[in-house]
Amino acid sequence: MESLFSHRKKAKSNSISSRNWFTMSHSQQYWKRFIRSCRKEEAIESYQQAIRVDPKDAYPYNGLGSALSALGRNEEAIEAYQQAISVDPKSAYPYYGLGNALSDIGRKEEAIEAFQQAISVDPKSAYPYNGLGIVLSALGRNEEAIEAYQTFIKLFSGDKYWINRAKGIIEKLQKGE
């Protein structure tokens, strides 16, 4: 198997962007292997390599935040998401990741702000509404949580499991559970 770092060498010699380097080294075979094998530390190093190639590309900062968050390194993840936002404030993904990381460490009000920012950037993205619903319900703000989950259900086009899960949560919230 070709080394991840040999891709970095190729990227520098061909003067390609970090997104292209990242795509070459991860999109198909490598990233799927990282996820399946839980090689998140390797993923972190690869994102850091991509950032060194092009620090003005938000995509690897966001991926770095996701990998760090998956390892429970939420403070570091928050920094990575904030960097992604500073590079590209018009992308909803880092705001969503930031909201999740903030929520995971108990900073619920800040998480709400991050999810709302993600929604303002991309109101048709379902995921921030789900995150918002989770945080609002954790704070006992059930009516607002129900609204967020209902919007998630309207917008989400993926696996029915998540829609059914959101419907189940709405039912519990309506019952006051």
Spell out the domains of the chain, with CATH numbers in brackets. Answer: 7-94 (1.25.40.10)
For 1-39, how does the pLDDT look when each residue is reduced to its tens digit (9 = 90+)?
Answer: 333 433 334 444 333 344 443 443 333 344 444 544 567
pLDDT of residue 85: 98
Q: Is there a contact between 132 and 112 (Cβ–Cβ < 8 Å)?
A: yes
Q: Is there a contact between 46 and 6 (Cβ–Cβ < 8 Å)?
A: no
Residue range 86-106: mean pLDDT, rounded: 97
Q: How far apart are CA 79 and CA 117, in angstroms?
A: 17
pTM value is 0.78
Closest by CA to 100, choosing from 142, 67, 122, is: 67
pLDDT of residue 74: 96
Q: Which two tokens stand for residue 78?
A: 């928050």
